[in-house]
């Protein structure tokens, strides 16, 4: 397995898991604004799966790969 290849389940979780708390409660993790993710990166990520997904979402967005999430949402939600 290629270590650089994205984990498919993480990508699916990003477009199906909703933020359970805070200013953007109810919004999909994939749809969280970058500034919000940066704020958490500077403070500290929440524990558990939500924090892990937020970290992955942050990395995807800062690397300019957000179109992957948008395309995946089109396929998943058609």
Residues 9-52: pLDDT tens digits?
A: 999 999 999 999 999 999 999 999 999 999 999 999 999 999 99
* Total domains in the fold of the chain: 1
Asked whether the predicted pLDDT for residue 61 surpasses 80, the reply is: yes
d(CA 58, CA 40) in angstroms, rounded, equals 10
Q: Is residue 1 part of a domain?
A: no
Identify whether 72 is part of a domain: yes
Q: What is the pLDDT of residue 78?
A: 66
For residue 2, tell me if it sits in a domain: no
8, 69 Cβ separation under 8 angstroms: no
Residue 24: Cβ-neighbour burial (10 angstroms; 0-12, 13-18, 19+) = middle
- What is the SS3 assignment for 44? coil
């Amino acid at each position: 397995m290629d270590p650089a290849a994205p984990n498919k389940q993480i990508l699916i979780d990003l477009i199906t898991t909703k933020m359970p708390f805070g200013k953007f409660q109810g919004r999909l993790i994939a749809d969280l604004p970058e500034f919000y993710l940066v704020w958490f990166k500077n403070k500290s990520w929440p524990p558990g799966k939500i924090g892990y997904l937020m970290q992955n979402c942050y990395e995807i967005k800062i690397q300019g790969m957000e179109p992957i999430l948008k395309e995946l949402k089109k396929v998943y939600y058609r």
